[in-house]
Amino acid sequence: MGAMTKVLGACLALLLLASCDNSTTNFPLSSRPVTTTEDPVAGNIAVVRLSAANVSTFGSPADLSGGRTTLPSNGYWNYRVGTGDLLDIVVWDHPELTMPAGANRTPAESGLRVQSDGTFFYPYVGQVRARGRTPDEIRADLAEKLKEFIPSPQVSVRVVGYNSQTVSVTGEVGQPARIPLTSSALTLLDAVNEAGGLTEKADARRVIVRRGGRSYSVDMQAFLNQGISSNNPVLHNGDVIAVPRAKAAEAYLLGQLVKPGPIDLTKDDVTLTEAVTSVGGLKTEAADARGIFVFRDTPAGVTVYQLDTSSAAAYVVGTRFYLHPQDVVYVTTAPVAKWNRLISNLLPTLNTARAADALAN
């Protein structure tokens, strides 16, 4: 009898422990769409039971766009000559001025370099100011000065060596580089592409452009996805572009799933159904299909979304509910699994008690 008393005592103890098991499905199935409870740690918790009627209200994907950048941008670009640039100057019908060093040299080889004082020397005219001017402004000035020696001179000026102005691209790109500015406007996307493009680890939503002692955040992904033109600004001399490494944006899947673990939300929007499927789905014998919960921290407090998948049609609702970074998906334990766990803990005690009774008899 003493052994049987011990068995009954063990049963009662296990039953009491089981009644305190937090993983048990003792959650309320209220017909109201939203309820509020109080948690000593998280504070107010709003509980939302998802349905086809309300999922469009609660299930939109997180807005990951960074909006329009504050970096000043002017789409119009007109290159201004700087120190070190090479100029090719042609005076029509006057080859002695066009190619004074010989006709076999290329424009780049025979070009006139802008000196450190911002000028270059030209026959008959002397020193011509170039720095800070456009090629058209230099052409007009040179033609005016040549009138004294050549009637109605026809002059063309072009840059054949862009050496004075650059931008730098660093960080998560294929080949970090200094890229020269030319007569064609260089946009942020152009510069990144010339530097080998973004790496797989790059965060295109938080590109940093440093200009004039200030740093500006540019959401280049918003330009690529939504065509926000201000997020593909024209670059200026001295700009430094830093492409950061993307920080992992993850949701966490816990509880009675085949393979619990994190899921990556960095590049693609993921629905609740996709997330559960990607980890193998619910454990058939252990999970309670009514108890798929999504815990989400919001400025107003923690919101818990409940998806009851005891009907297979509920998974369609799950395809319209998008996870946000830092969401926690938890699948509760089925009551039958709780009972099986109780029995598995109880059987060794029963066997020991039977053995003790056999010895006593």
**Interval 114-152: pLDDT, tens:** 999 999 999 888 999 999 999 999 999 999 999 988 888
pLDDT value for 169: 98
Which residue spans within 131-225 are E strands per DSSP?
A: 155-161, 166-171, 177-180, 207-211, 214-218
Look-up: residue for tokens 């590049």?
267
Strands 240-243 and 166-171: parallel
- Model pLDDT, residue 110: 72
pTM (predicted TM-score): 0.62
**Diameter over CA atoms, the chain:** 135
Nearest to 138 by CA among 94, 87, 174: 87
- Where residue 157 falls among pLDDT bands split at 50, 70, 90? very high
Let me know: does 94 contact 150? Beta carbons within 8 Å. yes
Q: Are 46 and 301 in contact (CB under 8 A)?
A: yes
Q: What are residue 240's DSSP bridge partners?
A: 168, 210
pLDDT at 172 over 80: yes
More confident residue, 163 or 28: 163
**How remote is the C-alpha of 153 from its chain's centroid?**
56
* Ramachandran angles phi, psi of 57, nearest 5°: -75, -40
Give tens-digit pLDDT for 307-333: 888 877 888 999 999 999 999 999 888
Q: What is the mean pLDDT of residues 98-102?
A: 56
- pLDDT tens digit sequence for 38-71: 444 445 567 888 888 888 888 888 766 666 777 8
Name the token pair of 177.
């580089």
From the number of C-beta atoms within 10 Å of its C-beta (0-12, 13-18, 19+), residue 285 rates as exposed
Return the DSSP state at 33: S
pLDDT in tens, 251-295: 999 989 999 999 988 778 899 999 999 999 888 888 887 888 899
Specify the pLDDT at position 320: 92
Specify the higher pLDDT residue, 193 or 39. 193
Q: Are 30 and 308 in contact (CB under 8 A)?
A: no
pLDDT value for 336: 55
The pLDDT score that the predictor gives to residue 64 is 63
Average pLDDT of the chain, as a whole number: 80
Residue 70: C-alpha distances to residues 67, 206, 214, 217, 255 (Å): 9, 13, 11, 8, 44
